[in-house]
Amino acid sequence: MKLEIIDNSKSIYKFNKNYFLAVASTISNIENHGFNYINIIFTNDKDMRLLKKKYFNQDYYTDIISFNLEEPNDLIEGELYIGINQIYKNSIKFNCNINSELKRIFIHGVLHLVGYDDQTQADKKNMTKLEDKYIALHDDVILIKT
């Protein structure tokens, strides 16, 4: 699996690529979905809001947007747009550190790439359970302050 991190957010953090790769590989193996590549694009609130409006016709800030780019029956090719500002705000809102919140959001995005949805309360509950499962399997640091 190829994984690229693109930081358009001008973040004060360095991202641990090995963590992202290890988690995505674990999810790929357990969920039985092969990946060709994942691009992780960190960006700002303004760009996230524009993407949400353009592709989902919803005008609000969000923390992650997942795009599946592969053709049917091909290995997964995906892009995860992550709003680092929202990750920080959520970490305060949910009283957790930014590392923990980013882990949850990244896993959430990968789960979308393999086909999980969160449109109903039951779907949301299931995704949260899966997020907890994959967080517990990988205890590494995901962000390093520069």
Report d(CA 57, CA 1) in Å as an integer: 31
**Domain count within the chain:** 1
Q: What is the pLDDT of residue 39?
A: 98
How do 2-7 and 76-83 pair as beta strands? unpaired
pTM: 0.94
Q: What is the pLDDT of residues 53-103, one digit of tens each?
A: 999 999 998 999 999 999 988 999 999 999 999 999 999 999 999 999 999
Report d(CA 118, CA 137) in Å as an integer: 22
User: Binning pLDDT at 50, 70 and 90, where does residue 142 land?
Assistant: confident
User: Binning pLDDT at 50, 70 and 90, where does residue 12 land?
Assistant: confident
**Exposure on the CB side of residue 142, measured as CA atoms within 13 A:** 22
What percentage of the chain has pLDDT greater than the value 70?
Answer: 100
Q: Which domain holds residue 69?
A: 2-145
CATH of the domain at 114: 3.40.390.30
